[in-house]
Structure formats: C-alpha cells, structure tokens
Structure 1
Amino acid sequence: MASTTSRPLSRRRLLQGGAALAAGLPAAAMLGTGARAQTLKSVKLTLPWIANGSNYWPMVGKKLGYFSSRGIDVDVARGFGSVAAAQAVANKQFDFGIVFAGGTILAAARGLPLVTLATLYYDAMMGTALLASSPITSPKDLEGKKLGIVPTSAEAPFWPAYAAAAGIDASKVQLVQVDSKVIERVLIDKQVDAITAIGSSSIPVLVAQGQTPRFTLWSKVGVELYAAQIVTRQEVLDQDPKLCQAMVDAILESYAFTLREPKKAIDEFVALVPEVGLTKGGRENAEVSQGLAQLMTLRPEALDHTLGWTDIDKLGPMFDMVMKYGAPKDAVRPDPKKFATNQFVGKVTLTKAEWDAVKTSTAGYAKLLG
C-alpha cells in the first residue's frame, strides 16, 4: 500500500498514469465567510482513491450545496486505497470515508471500530480482463496461459478463491507479477494472455487506448464484495447520529444526482477538475468509469429497497472470504450485524422511472462485462 494516511485534494498532487484519469483537487470553492460559514460544522471525508468517475460525487455534491444545506462544511480528500482509507477513519484522521467493503472488513477484523452506514455499489468488480481477439472463452481456458496480476491490488488476494470457484487448476496458470502502472499495457502488448483487475479501473484505461476488452466478473461464481460504502467510527455514530444522518443524506443525494444526470454530473466534475477534459481520454475515462460503477448499483438491494441499503445477510460470506484469503492469522471475524446498519438510508432514493432511465443510460457499458 502506498500510504496509511490520506491528504487533502490538491492541484499540485495530480497523479497521472497512461491514459487513466488521475486527479485530486478541492471538492469546490471555499464556502462564504462570515456568520453563515461559522454555523457550518467542519467534517472531513476521505475518498478510497484519487478522484475519478467512480467516486467523485461528494465533490460535486459540495459544489451543489447538498452538504452546506445540512449544516456541513465538508472537506473531501483523496485516498490511497480502501485499506488505508479505512485505517485513516479509524485513526480519527477523517470523520467519514467512502471505502470498498474489503478494506472495511479487514480493518474491522483487526479490531478497528468502524461501522458501515450505507452501500452504493454492490460489486467491487473484481475480475479477469481479456482482449477482444483472445481465444480464451471460458475460465478454465486460463490454464496454460500467462495471467498478469498486481500483487498489492485489491483483487489479488482473491484470485485463489476465484480459481477454485470457477474450476480452474491454479497450478497450471502462470502468474506474472506486474506493476500497477503498466498492468493494462502488458495486456495490450500481449505480454500476458489476461490480467486480473478491478473493472471500473482497468476497463476505462483499455477503452481509452482503443481496445474493446472482454471482462469476466468474478462475482458470477460467488467471489464478490460490496464496494463504495459510507463508513465512520462507532463513537461518531454513538455521539452524533444526527451528523451521521446528515452525511448519509448529503452523500446519497450527491450520488443520486449522478444517477439522474450522468452527463451533467461529468460536466460538473470537469468544471471542478479541468485537467480531466485536457488529459487525452480523460473525460471518456470518467464517463466509462462512472457508467460501470452505476451498473453495480442496479441490484435488488437498491431497486427493491432504497438507495444505500445494505443486505446484511450477504455480508457473512464476504467476511468468510476475506478472513480466509485476505486477513492476517490473528484477525477476528467481525459480527455482520455490528458491522453495518440501514437506519440512515431511505430519505434519498430514485423513482421507478428514474431507475429505468439509469438502466437505459448504462446499457452500453454492460456490454463490456462478459
């Protein structure tokens, strides 16, 4: 992991890598000074990674006033991975975080007092990416092939789980360790036959470089984790439930705006981060990443319940998988019922017509997922 802390977004610390979008900037202009500003409560929120098409919505929400209207002056910071973001929240560097479930589960297994207040994406999009021309047509076809993998990536620990679930003899697959900066390039250059990846990260990079990849979600064989969860410390929940409600409402309203107005939302993102539009493939990267992420919200949890709802019964198998493949030996399995709550969701959601519109707007991105 690059760091165990997160830092405020800054124009001076843009990260660039190939055609991938990499930008971390202030969420919006400073709020007005004077009496109004003094009435707002300062709250720090960390993203799981650099601001991109799958996580930028709190930045836009701040600009549109979704936080200030609830008495909050939110400071949005980039993160350095979900594990680091979860630790930063637990260590009181941030009050809230947007964290993939794997990072939160690992933190909870180490005894860190975190609680999940809402879930926005229901699949972390762990999977295997292939070029369109690849002769590989089934998971078992990976046997005898070279598979590129970033050892420190979010999905790497769960490759053995996928291999077992998909009926792959992992001993017959040649793993090629690759740096995260070139993982897509080694696939394009055919130095490997396939790569493991997080779809919302690698697919936009491949598309921006003129590829139409085939991507197999590991969740199709039960290797799945929730993603993009709103987390805080237990003490924050206990001491200030009204703040938790306000933050969940503001974050969900920010995300709902991107669901209802995906193109306008990207326009707002580009206005906040002009480098997105100036970087080759930057806007396209953001649009693809956003579309893929929104696909992961189109699940029964949100459609049959409400935006942000967590199926706590599904957490048990996720915990078991993380404990088996990703947690240290001295880790203790968390209690799913203490790990997440649905008490703060339900005030912000979409109508059936709006959900249908999301299905239509993301249909093209669904074709990228084989």
Structure 2
Amino acid sequence: MTVDRRSFLKFAGTAGAGSALGLSMPTILRAASLQPVKLTLPWLPLGTFSYAFVAKKMGFWEQRGLDVTIDRGFGSGKVCVPVDQGQYEFGILDLAVMMNCAARSLSLTAIAGIWPKCPIGIFSLKEYGITKPSDLEGERVAFNVSSGDFQLWPAFVKATGIDDKKVTKVTMDPGALIKVLVEKQVKAEGNFYGSIAPSLWANGLEINSIFYEDYGIKAFSNVLAASEATVKDKPELCQAFVDGMMDGLKYVYLNPEKSVQLHMESVKEFQGGNAMNEKVVEYGQAVSTALGLVPSVKANGLGYMDPALIQATMDTVKNYMGVENLPPADKLFTNAFVGSVKVDDAQWSAIEARSEKYMPRKA
C-alpha cells in the first residue's frame, strides 16, 4: 500500500512508542509483499472510470496481492504502445483502436470488457440543431487524433455518405475539446459520450448526439487490455487484476452514491468540496454503468465479451477503416479471466431502472 503525504502525517501524528511512524510491522511487511502493477486509463480520471478507483480504494486489488498505480491517459491510441512495451501491465482503451494497433504488429489482447455499448459519436450544443451527419458539412468539428472517435471517423464518413471535404476538422489536445465547444469556437466535436456529456450536464448545458453505432458502425468499446506476453506468461496476475477490477465495477453498479465519494477521495483533482466536480463524477459514473448493461454480461458475468460483437468490431475495422492484417479473434480477446463476478436478477433490474435515463440516444 502506498502511503501518501497526507496519510503519512496522519499516521505519524498518532504514533505510539513502539512505532515512530505509526506503521506497525505487519503493515510494512504487507506493503512490501504487494506486487506493483501499473494501469493506464485512456483519458482523464473521470467518473466513467470510477470502478478502477473504487477497486483500489476498497482494497479489492490489495486483497489479491497487488499494489496498483492508476495513471490518466491521452486517448486510446496512446495506450497501445506503453502496454505493448511493458511500461504498463494493463490499459483501458477502445477495442477498435486496439485492433488497429494490433494490425500494426502491437501484441495486445483484450482480457475483460467494460463497455459493450459504443459511446463514440459527434456531439454539439443543442442550440445549433445539429442532429444528423449531413448537418456537419460546412462546420468546424474538433477532434483529438489519438481518440477512438477520430480513428473511426473514416468509417463514419463511409457509412453516412457525407462529404468529408466539406467538414473542417480541427485537431487539438484532448484537454481543450470541451472548452472550445463551450466557448463556441467549433460547432461540434468527436468524443465519447461518457467524457463529454457529464461535463456539459454539470454546466447546465444540453447536447445533441450523433452516435456512430446508429449508422451501422457496430463496435465493442472500452476493454481492459494487456500485452500478449503478459497474458501468456502471467495468467495469475491477469486473473487477480481482472477479479479486483470487476469487484470494483460491481460495487459501483450497486453503490453509486458511495462510489462517487470514494472516487472524489481518490483523485486529488476532484478534492476540495467542489459541487460541480462531484456532479461530473456522478454523471460519468452513471453513463459508464448504462454502457455496460447488455444481456450477455448479465448471463455470463461482468467483463464478458460477446464473440459475435467482437467479430462485428473486427468487421467494422476491416470494412470501414481499411485495416488489413488483423490477427485472428482468439489473439485479440479472451474470456478466460472473466465470469466469476456476477450480478443477480434483482440487482440487475434495479441497476437497469436507475440507468435508463443515461442510455445513449439520438438527438
């Protein structure tokens, strides 16, 4: 267990005569025995990733002998290389992006699913009245080139028949995307529903959404991935990590209010009692839950990836993105580590009822 400065001062201030730092010998030994593991998110530490922070805060990984460090990301496209090269044991990213990376000889395997529903789309302020793909022609649309929405943009253009040359694409750092939309420097932007909607809702703004999925671009979205070497050589580590994360995911599903507080306590950027930050986390967490509710997960356990949807994602990557040399499906994903963490029927019904209003919908 890593002791940060605040925790250190707390322990030191209450230390007894037998322990100058307030850390007992068993605590020190336990911390030393934990295996350090690094996880990279695909984006900022928003409520869409509460399950990871809850898993750490609740000790679900520590119980399995893991000391997990969670780092923010800069788009799914920038998760591939550090995971492939072993800088991170695990990474969360969009599956279509992972497949694109795998076609470029990066050895990555999805070992648990998070979002079977695809939240990728083009979003705009409701006041602009942009409700269909052709409305984007003649407009400035912002993108982060490392994000899944930009990498799937060619698929969206092909599927909808819009004139790509009539769309002025403005690329920028992911941190600027929401800012330029709110300040009306662009009319729309590519993004993930769970990244943009919570921030705008917390600011009292309404949005219109054009989801790629509604135009035939079927794809499994966020997955937990590891390098092929990690999956092959360290199956016990993969199992422990997946089980801990799925426990975190289940806790979020069943205890949303408490999970918001755990997330707020875990991320220093969200601390300080800012009500808007709390709403951003709350909305993001709710959207993330809504994106995970599909029958195959209910039947087979949290993290399960439907092989038919995996194949549909491969077809999207091949047919719309023009990606060749994709590895076979059994190299790209495995359900070997999922299925032990489940939600019963009554719990599932309650989660669905609470999440219905956050389901992705057309404008």
- TM-score computed with the length of structure 2 as normaliser: 0.83
* Aligned match of 2:239: 245
Name the CA distance, whole Å, in 2 between partners of 1:186 and 1:247.
37
Q: Aligned AA for 2:349?
A: D
Deviation at 1:188, TM superposition (A): 3.8
Q: Secondary structure at the match of 2:196?
A: helix
Matched, 1:268 2:262: yes
Aligned with 1:63 (options 57, 61, 81): 57
- CA-to-aligned-CA distance 1:210-233 (integer Å, 9 cap, x gap): 211121221112224323312222
Gaps of 5+ in 2: 6-22
Q: Secondary structure at the match of 1:116?
A: strand
* Aligned match of 1:300: 295
Name the CA distance, whole Å, in 2 between partners of 1:130 and 1:284.
20
- CA-to-aligned-CA distance 1:275-326 (integer Å, 9 cap, x gap): 4143462111111111112111012331343211112232234234335665
Name the CA distance, whole Å, in 2 between partners of 1:341 and 1:48.
20
Against the structure 1 CA distance between its residues 148 and 37, is the aligned structure 2 distance closer, same or farther, given a 3 Å change threshold? closer
Against the structure 1 CA distance between its residues 150 and 98, is the aligned structure 2 distance closer, same or farther, given a 3 Å change threshold? closer
- Mark the structure with the bigger radius of gyration: 2
Quote the RMSD (CA, aligned, Å): 2.9
Aligned with 1:125 (options 108, 116, 119): 119
* Aligned match of 1:212: 206
Name the CA distance, whole Å, in 2 between partners of 1:355 and 1:314.
21
Q: Secondary structure at the match of 2:122?
A: strand
> Which has more helix, going by share of residues?
2
**Is residue 110–residue 223 contact of structure 2 (8 Å, CA) maintained in 1?**
yes
Against the structure 1 CA distance between its residues 281 and 332, is the aligned structure 2 distance closer, same or farther, given a 3 Å change threshold? same
Q: Aligned AA for 2:125?
A: L
Against the structure 1 CA distance between its residues 136 and 238, is the aligned structure 2 distance closer, same or farther, given a 3 Å change threshold? closer
Aligned with 1:344 (options 337, 341, 360): 337
* Aligned match of 2:15: none
Against the structure 1 CA distance between its residues 165 and 133, is the aligned structure 2 distance closer, same or farther, given a 3 Å change threshold? same
Aligned with 2:66 (options 72, 75, 91): 72
**Is residue 214–residue 368 contact of structure 1 (8 Å, CA) maintained in 2?**
no
The equivalences for 1:35-54 within 5 A come to 35-54=29-48
Name the CA distance, whole Å, in 2 between partners of 1:113 and 1:189.
40
Name the CA distance, whole Å, in 1 between partners of 2:83 and 2:183.
40
Q: Secondary structure at the match of 1:201?
A: helix
Identity of aligned residues (%): 30
Count of paired positions: 342
Name the CA distance, whole Å, in 2 between partners of 1:309 and 1:207.
30
Matched, 1:362 2:349: no
Name the CA distance, whole Å, in 1 between partners of 2:211 and 2:200.
16
Aligned with 2:77 (options 71, 83, 92): 83
**Is residue 76–residue 93 contact of structure 2 (8 Å, CA) maintained in 1?**
yes
Against the structure 1 CA distance between its residues 275 and 325, is the aligned structure 2 distance closer, same or farther, given a 3 Å change threshold? same
Matched, 1:108 2:102: yes
**Is residue 50–residue 260 contact of structure 2 (8 Å, CA) maintained in 1?**
no
Name the CA distance, whole Å, in 1 between partners of 2:63 and 2:145.
43
Q: Secondary structure at the match of 2:189?
A: strand
Q: Aligned AA for 1:203?
A: A
* Aligned match of 1:236: 230
Gaps of 5+ in 1: 1-7, 12-28
**Is residue 109–residue 225 contact of structure 2 (8 Å, CA) maintained in 1?**
yes
- TM-score computed with the length of structure 1 as normaliser: 0.81
The equivalences for 1:132-151 within 5 A come to 132-151=126-145
Q: Aligned AA for 2:351?
A: V
Name the CA distance, whole Å, in 1 between partners of 2:225 and 2:348.
25
Aligned with 2:316 (options 321, 328, 334): 321
Q: Secondary structure at the match of 2:348?
A: helix
* Aligned match of 2:282: 287
Name the CA distance, whole Å, in 1 between partners of 2:125 and 2:332.
39
* Aligned match of 2:20: none
Name the CA distance, whole Å, in 2 between partners of 1:44 and 1:192.
36
Against the structure 1 CA distance between its residues 32 and 165, is the aligned structure 2 distance closer, same or farther, given a 3 Å change threshold? farther
Against the structure 1 CA distance between its residues 50 and 185, is the aligned structure 2 distance closer, same or farther, given a 3 Å change threshold? closer
Moved more, 336-345 or 143-152: 143-152
**Is residue 129–residue 213 contact of structure 1 (8 Å, CA) maintained in 2?**
yes
Aligned with 1:98 (options 76, 92, 99): 92
Aligned with 2:305 (options 291, 302, 310): 310
Q: Aligned AA for 1:41?
A: Q
**Is residue 100–residue 124 contact of structure 1 (8 Å, CA) maintained in 2?**
no
Against the structure 1 CA distance between its residues 134 and 84, is the aligned structure 2 distance closer, same or farther, given a 3 Å change threshold? closer
